[in-house]
Amino acid sequence: MVISPRICIIRSYTTSCIAYAQTLKTTSIQQTHNANQFNMFQINTELKDLVKAGKLSDARQVFDKLPQRDEVTWTTIISGYVKAADSSEALSLFSTMWVDPTQRMDPFLLSLALKACGLNPCAKRGESVHGYCVKTDFVSSVFVGSALLDMYMKTGKVNEGCKVFDEMPIRNVVSWTAIITGLVRAGFNMEGISYFAKLCRNNMAYDSYTLAITLKACADACLLRTGKEIHTQTLKKGFDTTSFVANTLTTMYSKCGKEKYALYLFEKIETKDVVSWTTMITSYVQTGQDYKAVQAFLRMRQSQVNPNEYTLAAVISSCANTAQIDLGQQFHAHVLHNGLMRCMSVANSIMTMYSKCGKLHLSSIVFHEMTQKDIVSWSTIIGGYAQGGFGDEAFQYLSLMKKDGPKPNEFAFSSVLSVCGNMAILEQGKQLHAHCIHVGLDHTAMVRSGLINMYSKCGSIKESLKMFTEAKHNDIVSWTAMINGYAEHGLSQESIDLFEELIKAGLTPDAVTFIGVLTACSHAGLVDLGFHYFNQITNYKLGLSKEHYGCMIDLLCRAGRLHEAENMITNMPYNRDDVVWSTLLRACRLHGDVELGTHAAKKILEMDPNCASTHITLANLYSVKGRWREAAEVRRLMRMKGVIKEPGWSWIKIRDCGFAFAAGDHSNPHWEDICCILGLLSSKEKVFVTGENDLIYNAHEVEERF
């Protein structure tokens, strides 16, 4: 069979055309695919640049318009929200990606999600992600494990964080630094140092961040020897020149009482940035050297370094501690001029400064002008009014906080409990106690010590002891509250015995604890024991305060050793105020020492010429000794000056309304009824209240009526 050449040519041509067409189609598809890949890479790069530049809203607009997204796209946009501390939006995006079947989860995305969970105090979302990581075995990734650890530490679940760390199959420097940082920030300094020691024993690598946080633990725990050992490691590794390590070293030596060496290290820093200056200023404030803090701030300004919000918050705190209202107002003006009032740490420091300087109305103005208020803001305003003796206002702010603010914490409750104690309003104190139990804050050290103090000041020393003995672990504040409670109730031996128990328990007494035991010695007349405790104060590296001298002066005066008391007043390293001289004057009145009493009265009147109590005590002293002419002269001077003794008064609170009573005061509209009731109470007949607005005068009538 002969095939026509034409037919062969046509078939060959057709086959070639089909093959060529298929080749064109394949090439076209590949080019289109490559174009899509190129565009995705370019878009992810643009998105990343927008996020890095802080233009998150622009980045979000680009993200929302994308027809196609890959893992890099999601990771970039979520990381932007995490860096902006917007945890809700970051987690919302993560949830959207999580349910998208076309997307593939990876360790980096999970690490970002866990970091977002760490920004939120609630750990429930983080626990859900943790469960997913365990189910999918992502938990074995060192990135995911470190993020889980960090999330639990930041949300306050320290035990869970430690468990995650112990179960990690692989650990790197980030993991070790995260566990140490979490423990130190939670206040577990010794545990943090222990993990660092384990890190060194395992010959694991560490960086400057690990050293800095461990040095912070040494600073907070005042472990100078351990701090020096770690300082040696920084020198060996060459990390001592790193700015944040050098700053932490300065803080550590300052807090451990080595101010000269801290200053030496600070001066060695070649380029002192705002962090260096802020570290030094903060160290001065925390160690009570407020004058030096202000001087350091002035040096900082002379070196052309601009302060940030943390610097200003620290130096304003120094003004608060020293009650320098004029300087504090200048800093307030500087803050307003630079628009830093939006920083809550600065606004809170200004509030504290005005409160401590007695300008509560200015503190209130700052509080109400704040656009945002945190738990510190509310606690500061409540504490300010409580310490200023304005109990009603403190209660009002607490009620407002429960209604419009964050959940009250132990600081807020402790401040209001102190109001109840100072004003002896037991019923309100009991209500607060019940509320603390309801919200689960009754076991916190601050609330527990506040309850002990409140019950003792309200006369319920048995309730104070019950609170103290029922606690599993009492801190030094609770011990001090109980010791002072016993002393104020005249139970001197119990107070002294409890102080000795405190020493045996291995706790270190503070300055306030010594005030309590010295008061107990004073009430019991134990002069020698009082001097024994007074001399022990410096053995505990505590400074002798004006209050300690006041206790000893009172002790000597009660024991009749008046000239020794005068010598202590004259020689104590503090300004002699009217309080110590008044203590001596009252003792002279009691023991009949006219000459010394006259000298004490003269000192008081030099400071306060119109002090009514001083005039009256001096006149009574003259009268007791039969020196009527001098007594009459003192009373004549009182009349010439127009000095009138302020009458004593008392008050009672009924149905949240306070009623004050003063001797000879007829301003109360019900004063006639009050006098009538007082007359009945002072009579010999028994009076009963029926609750029906009438009175029954004896028990026989009670039996007839009921």
* Token output for 167: 């179960």
Looking at per-residue confidence, does 13 or 509 come out higher?
Answer: 509
Helix (H, G, I), strand (E, B) or coil at 652: strand
| Interatomic CA distance for residues 347 and 498, integer angstroms | 41
pLDDT for the residue 464: 92
Res. 667: pLDDT tops 80: no
Burial label, 382 (beta-carbon count in 10 A; 0-12, 13-18, 19+): buried
pLDDT for the residue 28: 39
| Interatomic CA distance for residues 81 and 395, integer angstroms | 39
| Main-chain dihedrals φ then ψ at residue 188, nearest 5 degrees | -95, 70
Res. 664: pLDDT tops 80: no
* Token output for 688: 């009963």
What digits encode the pLDDT tens for the residues 579-600?
889 999 999 998 888 899 999 9
Structural domains in the chain plus CATH codes: 549-554+564-647 (1.25.40.10), 649-705 (no CATH)
Provide the angle, in degrees to the nearest 10, between the axes of the packed helices 259-268 and 243-255. 160
| Whole-number percent of the chain with pLDDT over 90 | 29
pLDDT interval class at 537 (50, 70, 90): very high
What digits encode the pLDDT tens for the residues 84-99?
888 888 888 888 888 8
| Interatomic CA distance for residues 418 and 385, integer angstroms | 11
pLDDT interval class at 103 (50, 70, 90): confident
| Main-chain dihedrals φ then ψ at residue 189, nearest 5 degrees | -70, -45
Q: How far apart are the first and last CA of the chain?
A: 140
pLDDT for the residue 685: 53
Res. 2: pLDDT tops 80: no
Looking at per-residue confidence, does 659 or 399 come out higher?
Answer: 399
Check: CB of residue 66 under 8 Å from CB of residue 43: yes
pLDDT interval class at 701 (50, 70, 90): very low
Check: CB of residue 145 under 8 Å from CB of residue 164: yes
Q: Give how far the C-alpha of residue 474 lies from the chain's centroid of Cα atoms, to the nearest Å.
A: 19
Burial label, 315 (beta-carbon count in 10 A; 0-12, 13-18, 19+): buried
How many residues are given for the chain? 706
Looking at per-residue confidence, does 276 or 473 come out higher?
Answer: 276
pLDDT interval class at 318 (50, 70, 90): very high
Q: Which residue has the tokens 């109400």?
A: 368
Check: CB of residue 665 under 8 Å from CB of residue 659: no
pLDDT for the residue 38: 45
In order of 203, 214, 219, the CA distances from 199 in angstroms are 6, 12, 20
Beta bridge partners of 650: 661
State which amino acid sits at residue 17: C
| Interatomic CA distance for residues 609 and 38, integer angstroms | 90
Q: Give how far the C-alpha of residue 90 lies from the chain's centroid of Cα atoms, to the nearest Å.
A: 30
| Interatomic CA distance for residues 695 and 504, integer angstroms | 56
| Interatomic CA distance for residues 300 and 306, integer angstroms | 8
* Token output for 69: 């997204």
Sign of the alpha-carbon torsion through 273, 279, 284, 290: positive
Check: CB of residue 158 under 8 Å from CB of residue 188: yes
In eight-state DSSP terms, residue 305 is P
pTM of structure: 0.64
* Token output for 17: 């055309």
Give the long-range contacts of residues 371-375, CB within 8 A, separation 24 or more: 371/342, 372/342, 372/344, 373/344, 373/405, 374/344, 374/348, 374/406, 375/405, 375/406, 375/409, 375/411, 375/412
Q: Which residue has the tokens 């050297």?
A: 289
pLDDT for the residue 451: 92
Burial label, 388 (beta-carbon count in 10 A; 0-12, 13-18, 19+): middle
Hey, how many other C-beta atoms are within 10 angstroms of the C-beta on 292?
Answer: 18
Check: CB of residue 628 under 8 Å from CB of residue 622: yes
Tell me the HSE value of 55 on the side-chain side, using a 13 A CA sphere.
11
Helix (H, G, I), strand (E, B) or coil at 44: helix
pLDDT for the residue 121: 67
Provide the angle, in degrees to the nearest 10, between the axes of the packed helices 87-98 and 71-83. 160
Res. 439: pLDDT tops 90: no
Mean pLDDT of 655-670: 71
- Of 326, 456, 473, 69, the closest CA to residue 59 belongs to 69
pLDDT for the residue 498: 94
Check: CB of residue 283 under 8 Å from CB of residue 317: no
pLDDT interval class at 24 (50, 70, 90): very low
Spatial neighbors of 367 by CB under 8 A, at least 6 apart, are 351, 373, 377, 380, 381
pLDDT interval class at 27 (50, 70, 90): very low
Hey, how many other C-beta atoms are within 10 angstroms of the C-beta on 692?
Answer: 8
State which amino acid sits at residue 132: Y
Mean pLDDT of 339-364: 92
pLDDT for the residue 143: 86
Mean pLDDT of 673-692: 64
Burial label, 590 (beta-carbon count in 10 A; 0-12, 13-18, 19+): middle
Element containing residue 12 per DSSP (H, E): helix 5-52
In order of 122, 146, 173, 198, 489, the CA distances from 178 in angstroms are 19, 7, 8, 14, 49
Check: CB of residue 50 under 8 Å from CB of residue 66: no
Res. 66: pLDDT tops 80: yes
| Interatomic CA distance for residues 479 and 469, integer angstroms | 10
| Interatomic CA distance for residues 329 and 561, integer angstroms | 46
Give the long-range contacts of residues 459-464, CB within 8 A, separation 24 or more: 459/424, 459/426, 460/426, 461/485, 461/486, 461/489, 461/491
Secondary structure tally for the chain: helices H, strands E: 38, 4
Res. 39: pLDDT tops 70: yes
- Of 594, 590, 638, the closest CA to residue 615 belongs to 638
Hey, how many other C-beta atoms are within 10 angstroms of the C-beta on 470?
Answer: 11
Task: Supply angle C-alpha 465, 466, 469, rounded to 5.
Answer: 80
| Main-chain dihedrals φ then ψ at residue 659, nearest 5 degrees | -125, 120
